[in-house]
Structure 1
Amino acid sequence: MSFPDPYDARFSSLLADTYLRLTGKSLLAEMPPGVTDATQWLYEKAPFGLLAHDTAEDPRFVYANRTAQEFFGYAWDEFVGMPSRLSAPPTKRSTRAQLMKDVLERGYSDHYRGMREGRSGIRFWIEDVTVWNLVDGAGRIHGQAALIGSTSPA
């Protein structure tokens, strides 16, 4: 199984284009003036966590920007390829799964708050989260993505 590189411009465009199409908001709204490489900014400097998983039966993370890596305590190579369900504590996985199912049917969901568990086992809240389907111009779903606005201790 191959995963996109964190600097894959086509994948970054898919993230940004579908976010704009489904929510009416720009993923790049906080990008400072003068910054010209949106792909690099999303991965290295975005002030929000950005995650994506594929469409496998047990979806695996295919993208995690540095802010998301900091939130969860995983490096790129640890995060990418990990089943996304493992980001939630075992007792919260059914709630997370229902959210993903709802997003698949509705296109996106915003203002989500949910319990997550980092690499160290410490639980925390992800807040002001928008989850959306990654849909290309032909209508093919490539997975789902999440923008995590902030976190707080559990």
Structure 2
Amino acid sequence: MKLNTDNIAPPWLGNDILPWIGLLLDSYVHWTGKELLDRQGTLLDQAHRLFDAPFVVASHGNEFDPILNYGNAQALKLWEMDWPEFVATPSRLTAEPMNRVERSRMLQEAGTHGVIHNYQGVRISKTGRRFLVEQATVWNVIDLHQHKVGQAATFSKWTTMSTG
């Protein structure tokens, strides 16, 4: 017997993620003055476009040790994780221990200025594959009252690195 999944939302639309996607997209415009993607249609339409975008988008919340809370299909593929794994991962684990100080500095700079452009840094996938993120934009995700509720990043250029 085949389970009918026609009316089941994809996991990346569960747990009230749609409002987060709205904040993420609105915050990008706030900090950069331009749209991350075509905003026509409903928020659900935009969420589908964001998930299927040809560039990476990932974000985390504002916890003491932030947990990833969104990754589009490109992010999931790059970090070699499925949705449940990705959204249960502490954001710091996307970088190797020796690169975490630099990553923390970058996030602090973005936190202070709202956005940084042309960020470059080494990241690591779940299987240990290292890659250099290039020309990334990192921005604060803010709520309707302009309070920081997380951070997000987007990039379309990365280079796989040797494992050592």
Give the alignment's TM-score, normalised by structure 1.
0.89
2:160 is aligned with what amino acid?
P
Q: Is 2:96 the partner of 1:112?
A: no
Residue aligned with 1:51, SS = strand
Structure 1 CA distance for aligned equivalents of residues 119 and 147 of structure 2: 25
The residue aligned with 1:69 is 76
Structure 2 CA distance for aligned equivalents of residues 60 and 10 of structure 1: 17
- The structure with the largest alpha-carbon Rg is 2
Structure 2 CA distance for aligned equivalents of residues 26 and 59 of structure 1: 25
Superposed CA offset, 1:65-100 (max 9, x none):
110011110111111021100000111000000000
The residue aligned with 2:4 is none
| Stretches (4+) displaced over 4 A | none
The residue aligned with 1:19 is 28
Please report the RMSD computed on the Cα atoms of aligned residues, expressed in angstroms: 1.8
Superposed CA offset, 1:104-143 (max 9, x none):
1110101111100011101111112110000112012110
The residue aligned with 1:141 is 148
Give the alignment's TM-score, normalised by structure 2.
0.83
Structure 2 CA distance for aligned equivalents of residues 89 and 83 of structure 1: 12
The residue aligned with 2:6 is none
Displacement after TM superposition at 1:9 (Å):
2.6
Residue aligned with 1:6, SS = helix
Decide whether the 8 Å contact of 1:87 with 1:117 is kept in 2.
yes
Displacement after TM superposition at 1:101 (Å):
0.6
Decide whether the 8 Å contact of 1:71 with 1:151 is kept in 2.
no
Gaps of 5+ in 2: 1-10
Out of 12, 18, 21, the position equivalent to 1:6 is 12
Superposed CA offset, 1:45-64 (max 9, x none):
10111111011111110111
> Residues 6-85 of structure 1: matches in 2 within 5 Å?
6-7=12-13, 8-29=17-38, 37-43=45-51, 45-85=52-92
What is the count of residue pairs matched by the alignment? 146
Q: Is 2:128 the partner of 1:153?
A: no
Residue aligned with 1:52, SS = strand
Out of 102, 109, 121, the position equivalent to 2:109 is 102
Residue aligned with 2:134, SS = strand
Structure 2 CA distance for aligned equivalents of residues 54 and 81 of structure 1: 12
Gaps of 5+ in 1: none
Residue aligned with 1:69, SS = helix
